[in-house]
Each structure stands twice: as structure tokens, then as C-alpha cells.
């Protein structure tokens, strides 16, 4: 019998700025458990008067770093939890966490594919964990990441994605920048739509190859992409979603 | 900013796991109202009420809901015809 999940106190050992609004927080845990790519941790803050605020943050790390976990956290200006992480927390501080959690939005080597990953903003974090795990395992499942950001400066893991894409059997990585594009930009420059999804799927054998799709990001992006994919004939059972709602 | 109130049930997996002793978001649930069968993690979660309500993605009826009371949680599963562990 596996011990039930409990809240525990972790220690932040590294904070890595990824973009203006997103940082990675590496946390060591006394009761660490291996996670599956796509899972998340709950984080809980308690004020002196006992008031508690809790949020879920996706795991960015692959599964090979025993004892520690890397969470990708976007700073939401009027949020209750994320500004504390970005503005107050320093390396060496302690935080209360519970995880890893979630057996549904999970992909790991051996689960098959082809893999159609669609991420918006910090919704790329759990998809990054999947791509890192795929790479670490030498898994050759065809994979494509369609990644929507506002501007080039908002692209998280940009260099690592380029490196992954350049490896043999690396994933295809397609970017779209919805708000502003740098000079000479040759990627997409609009919101994710049916044409874009069809072109992304073409990199992994097309929708006829029966891909497994994982969609993560703001609710609007996830819902429009899910609707477009089912309109294009994808079976709902092959499609998993993770909406970011009021993720403050 | 207008914030959507609905999430995927995967977002409340931690609270569910704490109540049930095991993560059930990968279990299948059959909606007692329309018969759709899908993973619990795919249900739509309304989390801003006094309790949590998980609704069917097809017919929007309530499949699972719970509330935390001073005497512990109360989980209402009437909207699920069955759960299928996997």
C-alpha cells in the first residue's frame, strides 16, 4: 500500500528566471516521490492569521532527478501565491507542498503516440516535462510541440527547445507569436487555429495516424484547440486537456 | 480581468487524493445522466463554490461533488453510474 499524499515542507534550492514573468523553482523534498511527466504539485501558503491560499503548479523536470522537483511558475500580478514566489522567496526558503499529483494529464515513454503537444504561455511547462522525459529515455515516439506565446521574450525554454529539436529523433517545435513578432520572424503570427493544428499534426504523420494530444494553457486556447481537433476528426478519448483557470 | 471559473478535474486531484487515499483522476467514471464514460480527470471542475462540483463534459450534469465540513469531507457520487479503477 502506497502511503497517502501528505503536505510536506520543501526547501527552495534554486530559482531560475526563464522569462520576465516565468521562473523555475527547484525544491528539495524530504519525502520525494518519482513523478510522471505532466503531473503537478499543490503549493500552500499560510498567513500568520491562519488564512491559507493554495495553487497547483506543473512539474517541468524530467523524472530522473531524485530528491528534487522543478516547478514552473508564472507571476500573475494580482495573484495570491505566485507573486510571493517571484517577489519574496529566495533560495534556502521553505515552502509547503503536496505531490506529485494527477494521473490523467500524463504522458511517459511507452505510452505511445504520435504525440501532438499544444501549449499556450506557461502551459508549456508540463509538456516540457514530457519532452525532457522522452529525450532522457531515448524514446523515438514522433512528437510535435505547437507553442503559442505573446512575444518572443515570453517563450519559455526557448534555447532548450531548439537543442531538443536539433537532436536525432528530436521533436518538431512550431512557435506562434500572437501579439508581436521580431523582424524576420518565420513562425506563425496568429492564435492557434485548425490550419495550424493540421500542419503541426502533419509533422508526425497527420491526424490519420491517430495521435495522442495534450493541450495545456489558458482556457480559451485549450477549448478552441480541442474543438478544432475534434472537428478535424480526432477522437475525444485521444485528447487530454489541462486548462489554466483563475491561476493566481 | 474576466476569469473563467471552470477547470479540468485534474486540478483538484490533490484534494481528491487526500480524501480518497488514492489518486482517482485516471479512473473512468460513467455519467449516470447521459452514459458518457471518461477519465475523472477530464470532468469539468467548478471550484469556487462552497464545495467542489465535477460535471460531465458531454451533458454538463453533476457526476461527483464534495464539501469539506468540520467533521471531514462528504463526497456525493450519485451522478456516477460506476467508477472503473485502472
**pLDDT, tens digit, 9 for 90 and up, residues A99-154:** 999 999 999 999 998 999 999 999 999 999 999 999 999 999 999 999 999 999 99
> Whole-angstrom Cα distance, residue B12 to residue A248?
15
Q: The sheet that has B80-84: what strands, in order across it?
A: B37-39, B28-31, B80-84
Is pLDDT of A84 > 70? yes
The predicted pLDDT at position A245 comes to: 61
Contact A246 B26 (CB under 8 A): no
The model's pTM: 0.91
Q: What is the pLDDT of residue A221?
A: 94
Gap between the Cα atoms of A92 and B11, Å rounded:
28
Confidence of residue A2 (pLDDT cuts 50, 70, 90): low
Alpha-carbon separation of residue A145 from A56, A75, A120, A198, B8 (angstroms): 23, 23, 11, 12, 21
Contacts with B50 (C-beta within 8 Å, 6 or more apart), sequence order: B67
pLDDT over 90 at A177, yes or no = yes
* All residues at 6 or more sequence positions from A168 whose CB lies less than 8 Å from its CB, including other chains: none
When CB atoms are compared, the residue of A98, A102, A243 closest to B25 is A102
- pLDDT at position A113, please? 87
Q: Kindly provide the ipTM of the predicted complex, given to two decimals.
A: 0.84
What pLDDT is attached to residue B1? 34
pLDDT value of position A96: 96
In whole angstroms, what is the distance from residue B45 CA to residue B22 CA?
A: 19
Taking an 8 Å cut-off on Cβ atoms, the answer to whether A236 and B38 are in contact is yes
* Chain-chain contact of A102 with B10 (C-beta, under 8 angstroms): yes
The answer to whether the CB atoms of A4 and B21 lie below 8 A apart is yes
**pLDDT range class, residue A31, cuts 50, 70, 90:** very high
B3 band by pLDDT with thresholds 50, 70 and 90:
very low
| Tens-place pLDDT, residues B29-82 | 999 999 999 999 999 999 888 899 999 999 999 999 999 999 999 999 999 999
CA–CA separation, A38 vs A36, rounded Å?
Answer: 6
Q: Is the pLDDT of residue B5 over 60?
A: yes
> In the predicted model, is pLDDT for residue A203 greater than 60?
yes
Chain B residue numbers with beta carbons less than 8 Å from the beta carbon of A105 are 8, 10, 41
Distance, CA of A119 to CA of A56 (rounded, Å): 17
State pLDDT tens for residues A53-71.
888 999 998 877 889 999 9
Backbone angles phi, psi at A16, to 5 degrees: -120, 120
Is B22 touching A (CB cutoff 8 A)?
yes
DSSP letter (8 states) at residue B11: G
For residue A242, pLDDT over 50 is answered with: yes
Question: In this predicted model, what pLDDT tens digit does every residue of A157-169 receive, in sequence order?
Answer: 999 999 999 999 9
Q: Mapping DSSP to helix (H, G, I), strand (E, B) and coil, where does residue B51 land?
A: coil
Amino acid at each position: 500500500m502506497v502511503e497517502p499524499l501528505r503536505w510536506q515542507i520543501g526547501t527552495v534550492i534554486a530559482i531560475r528566471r526563464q522569462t520576465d514573468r516565468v521562473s523555475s523553482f527547484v525544491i528539495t523534498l524530504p519525502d520525494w516521490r518519482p513523478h510522471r511527466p505532466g503531473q503537478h504539485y499543490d503549493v500552500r501558503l499560510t498567513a500568520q492569521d491562519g488564512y491559507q491560499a493554495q495553487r497547483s503548479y506543473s512539474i517541468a523536470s524530467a523524472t530522473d532527478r531524485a530528491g528534487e522537483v522543478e516547478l514552473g511558475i508564472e507571476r500573475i500580478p494580482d495573484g495570491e501565491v505566485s507573486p510571493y514566489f517571484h517577489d519574496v522567496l529566495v533560495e534556502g526558503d521553505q515552502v509547503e507542498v503536496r505531490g506529485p499529483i494527477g494521473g490523467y494529464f500524463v504522458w511517459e515513454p511507452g505510452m505511445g503516440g504520435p504525440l501532438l503537444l499544444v501549449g499556450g504561455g506557461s502551459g508549456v511547462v508540463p509538456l516540457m516535462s514530457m519532452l525532457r522525459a522522452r529525450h532522457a529515455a531515448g524514446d523515438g515516439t514522433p512528437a510535435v510541440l505547437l507553442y503559442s506565446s505573446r512575444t518572443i521574450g515570453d517563450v519559455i525554454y526557448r534555447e532548450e527547445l531548439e537543442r531538443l529539436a536539433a537532436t536525432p529523433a528530436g521533436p518538431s517545435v512550431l512557435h506562434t507569436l500572437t501579439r508581436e513578432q521580431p523582424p524576420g520572424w518565420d513562425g506563425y503570427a496568429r492564435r492557434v487555429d485548425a490550419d495550424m493544428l493540421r500542419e503541426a499534426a502533419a509533422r508526425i504523420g497527420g491526424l490519420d495516424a491517430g495521435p495522442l494530444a495534450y493541450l495545456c494553457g489558458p482556457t480559451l486556447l485549450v477549448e478552441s484547440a480541442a474543438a478544432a481537433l475534434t472537428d478535424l476528426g480526432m477522437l475525444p478519448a485521444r485528447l487530454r486537456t489541462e486548462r489554466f483557470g483563475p491561476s493566481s | 480581468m474576466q476569469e473563467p471559473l471552470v477547470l479540468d478535474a485534474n486540478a483538484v486531484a490533490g484534494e481528491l487524493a487526500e480524501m480518497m487515499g488514492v489518486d482517482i483522476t485516471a479512473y473512468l467514471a460513467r455519467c449516470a445522466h447521459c452514459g458518457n464514460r471518461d477519465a475523472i480527470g477530464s470532468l469539468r471542475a467548478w471550484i469556487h463554490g462552497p464545495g467542489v462540483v465535477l460535471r460531465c463534459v458531454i451533458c454538463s450534469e453533476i457526476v461527483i461533488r464534495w464539501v469539506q465540513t468540520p467533521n471531514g469531507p462528504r463526497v456525493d457520487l450519485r451522478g456516477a453510474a460506476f467508477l472503473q479503477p485502472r
